[in-house]
Structure 1
């Protein structure tokens, strides 16, 4: 169960990282569009797990690796933004958020299910 403070910090990190990815780190991602879908923080706020979604790219793993290589720079940019709100800038761990792809896969499975019609009721029971 997340505390109110954890949720507030996570939302702030999500907002700030979104701006950092859009402005300062745009050249790292080529033409890919990176969205921060969720941020989860540990209770002591020292670690933030950042879940990313990618558009306009075919190599998601390569892009994630590039983001991980630049994590110190990203953390530095984040630190300049949250230095007055947080005592410790959390370490960042980046993960691919595949919930949209998983949901699409489930939708396709449901769409492929063929449900036979119910047998007709006997009307001779008068």
Structure 2
């Protein structure tokens, strides 16, 4: 099912506001690596935002995810302060690990392996 126009607008709005909040809480640079928000999807009722995070040069992603989930209340409160005049209800935040970069690197490794064998 394709996202509605309003879902996309709310997702874009959350993306614009959550990035500086991540920087404020020091969640964008952890363990010498970088955390970035790759995509945000909002449910049709606009009550839940699913935030997909990509990790660059971070070895223990589970620890970083648990740290982010510990600060979820603070993140949602700060987001609510920023968006209180634009949204009636601030969506619940859910964080997921985006493993797209892992898939890309695996595919590149396989292609390089095939190329070297020929």
With normalisation by structure 1, the TM-score equals 0.83
Give, in whole Å, the separation in 1 of the partners of 2:105 and 2:14. Answer: 28
Of Structure 1 and Structure 2, the greater helix share is in: 2
SS at match of 2:50: strand
Matches within 5 A, 1:1-126: 1-23=2-24, 25-26=25-26, 29=30, 31-114=32-115
- Measure, in 2, the Cα distance between the counterparts of 1:65 and 1:104: 25
When the two chains are superposed, the root-mean-square deviation of aligned CA atoms in Å is 2.2
TM-score, structure 2 length as denominator?
A: 0.88
Give unpaired runs (5+ residues) of structure 1: 118-126
Regions of 4+ moved over 4 Å: 27-32, 114-117
Q: Point out the structure with max Rg over C-alpha.
A: 1
**Where does the alignment leave 5 or more consecutive residues of structure 2 unmatched?**
none
